[in-house]
Structure 1
Amino acid sequence: MNAQSLRTFVTVVRLGSFSGAAAHLGYTQSAISQQIAALESDLGAVLLHRRPVRPTEAGERLLEHAGPILLRMDAARGELARLTGGPVGRRLTVGGSAPALQHGVAGALARVRRRDPRVEVSVRVLGRAEVAAAVAEGAVDLGLVDGVAAPTNPLRLPADLPVVATAVAEEPLAVVLPADHPLGVRPALDLADLADARWVDAPEAAAPLADLRAAVGWDAFPAGPRYDGPDAGTLLDLVAAEHGLALLPAAVAADRADVAAVPLRAPRLVHRTEALHGRLPSPVATAFLDALEEGGLSRRRAPR
């Protein structure tokens, strides 16, 4: 079982098509079929139903292993490239979830460029689940990710990735409701009291409902409409229009008259932002981390 055949298998499953995988990977359809056949022969199992294209039970089991295997291989390639002085030069690519990129990134980048105007800067918006993998693979020099955690606790990241986390910020959370909601006048709210309320499911812009359910320990919080974008303003519009509640950093809703932001009292949770980089960060990534620290936004943490 080689990495290319495994990557081809994952691509065929993801696209549900041999021809689609061929176009995506730059092979002929015949070459894709040969790679899948060789993989099935090597493993002694049929991995794919052909019409329609979907994984067999054996294919489903292989798929569970394939993602972590390929990610670790990409992470090893990226780390070795940094170790051997790969083509990093004066390029700095910062990638992160949209809320995390708001925490001092512009100021830190400005400080880096003042010291070396030749640094070429790129900023990429990624999904929260993509940031750690992008850092491990070397697709970005430094990542910024946010999420909900207990005070001073690190965010939950994939345990098998060679990344180092640096705390950037912790902010108080608030339950955001329509301005005329009866609970909007409360001094504080407990999540447990809102277990039956409808929530906007906005995993990229607010605390994901899965995190809220994990915080209270049971399957609560019925979902209203799903919003897949990262823009907090659009999410606040949905809350104001009574589509559901949201849990956000208190400062996000401070200037909106059409919503009420009530501090979260229990459980004790904060909105946490972390910077992620490889165990061997490039010089420009190190300079960016230093610039974040100079802005009073971070402190170094141990590798995970």
Structure 2
Amino acid sequence: MDLNAVHTFVAAAAAGSFQDAAAELAVTQQAVSKRVAALEQDLGVRLFHRSPRGTELTIDGQAFLPHARELLRVAERAAASVRPGSRALRVDVIASRIAPSGLLREFHRAHPDVELDVVHLHTVDDAVAALRAGTIDASFRAVLAPGRGLPEEIATAHVLDEPHDLLTGPGHALANARSVTLAGLAGHRIWIPGSAPGTEWGAYYDDLCAAFGLTIEGTGPNFGSDALLDVIADTPGLATLAGARTRLVWPAGHDLRRVPVHDPVPVYPHSLIWHRDNPHPALRTLRSHLAAIPDARPEGATWAPDWARR
């Protein structure tokens, strides 16, 4: 059903004549007549009695009028649900405890009027596909892994270089160290479950191992950060790497230790990616908020893979 014709019918019913409806709609009287005639043909009934004095609704027109008004209300609600600025800004972050989630919470506190819809997609390929399809507005990701450049329509902006800490249980050989060098981690077992091939974080840790002779194991199912912390607390020979801004909470009995890593400091590059044609006004607000964050890079030399360097 042509909603433009339905709108014209409702206007003509309210005005009492095609001429007055044409003036209200800023179209010709002939256009009003054609639209109403097309609607009548579509419905198979006459909606108006026409006379030199004007128009009057037929019985069928009276029956159709409340439904026509409801059709227009439903159409407006449907359009408003997707109109830029009327729907929530949908942002992808990999997990709820990592640094970008914290940045998104800070954005929400600074802009409580912006409605957010947070989703968790697995890989950067999933995020790029969702951006191209329009099912998300933005995604926090590392710069793409080697050989997989961003499509031309996907824009990116660097947000944060996050240093890594070594996370150990109380019985680990490095538990009481004030800091540790990257070279000093060689020979120690580091466990990061979920570091899967084909992900940007998997590529990051593969390059870190290759550059400094480290052993990072990604074996076993990934039951989440709580299960990981339980294992680290109870296994003296096992440690993991955690972002310095990653929010981790554990029971007091775990007595876990965060040991800063330096010479150089391994930093994980967080970026925001979005579709260049996305018109959502809150996306510009998010980008401006992130751009205003001070660039708190760690002192001294840092390391990131070649594909992740600014």
TM-score range, shorter chain: 0.5 to 0.7
How many aligned positions are there? 202
Equivalent residues of 1:200, 1:227 under 8 A apart? no
> Aligned ranges for residues 216-255 of structure 1 at < 5 Å?
216-217=209-210, 220-221=214-215, 223=217, 225-229=219-223, 231-242=224-235, 244-252=238-246
Deviations 1:146-203 (A, max 9, x none): 5xxxxxxx56483042322222222321111112212122232234443433232323
Distance 1:253-1:188 versus aligned 2 partners, 3 A rule:
farther
Q: Is residue 271 of structure 1 aligned with residue 268 of structure 2?
A: yes
1:281, distance to aligned residue in structure 2 (A):
2.8
Equivalent residues of 2:195, 2:202 under 8 A apart? no
Which residue of structure 2 aligns with residue 122 of structure 1? 117
Structure 1 residue ranges without an equivalent (≥5): 1-85, 147-153
Supply the distance in 1 between the matched residues of 2:190 and 2:134 (Cα, whole angstroms): 36
Distance 1:133-1:195 versus aligned 2 partners, 3 A rule:
farther
* Partner SS, residue 174 of structure 2: helix
Equivalent residues of 1:169, 1:297 under 8 A apart? no
TM-score (ref. length: structure 1): 0.54
Distance 1:141-1:159 versus aligned 2 partners, 3 A rule:
same
Q: Is residue 103 of structure 1 aligned with residue 102 of structure 2?
A: yes
TM-score (ref. length: structure 2): 0.53
Which residue of structure 2 aligns with residue 281 of structure 1? 278
Which residue of structure 2 aligns with residue 159 of structure 1? 149
> Aligned ranges for residues 284-295 of structure 1 at < 5 Å?
284-293=282-291
1:247, distance to aligned residue in structure 2 (A):
1.0
1:258, distance to aligned residue in structure 2 (A):
2.0
Q: Give the alignment partner of residue 138 of structure 1, picking from 111, 134, 141.
A: 134
Which residue of structure 2 aligns with residue 200 of structure 1? 191
Which residue of structure 2 aligns with residue 57 of structure 1? none
Equivalent residues of 2:164, 2:244 under 8 A apart? yes
Deviations 1:213-264 (A, max 9, x none): 31242775152753435x4333222211217321112354786552222111
> Aligned ranges for residues 170-209 of structure 1 at < 5 Å?
170-203=161-194, 208=201
Supply the distance in 2 between the matched residues of 1:224 and 1:120 (Cα, whole angstroms): 36
1:143, distance to aligned residue in structure 2 (A):
0.8
| Aligned AA (2:210) | G
Q: Is residue 214 of structure 1 aligned with residue 181 of structure 2?
A: no
Q: Which structure has the larger Rg over C-alpha atoms?
A: 2
Supply the distance in 2 between the matched residues of 1:214 and 1:131 (Cα, whole angstroms): 22
* Partner SS, residue 187 of structure 1: coil
Distance 1:209-1:180 versus aligned 2 partners, 3 A rule:
farther
Equivalent residues of 2:167, 2:242 under 8 A apart? yes
* Partner SS, residue 281 of structure 1: coil
Supply the distance in 2 between the matched residues of 1:122 and 1:281 (Cα, whole angstroms): 16
1:93, distance to aligned residue in structure 2 (A):
0.8
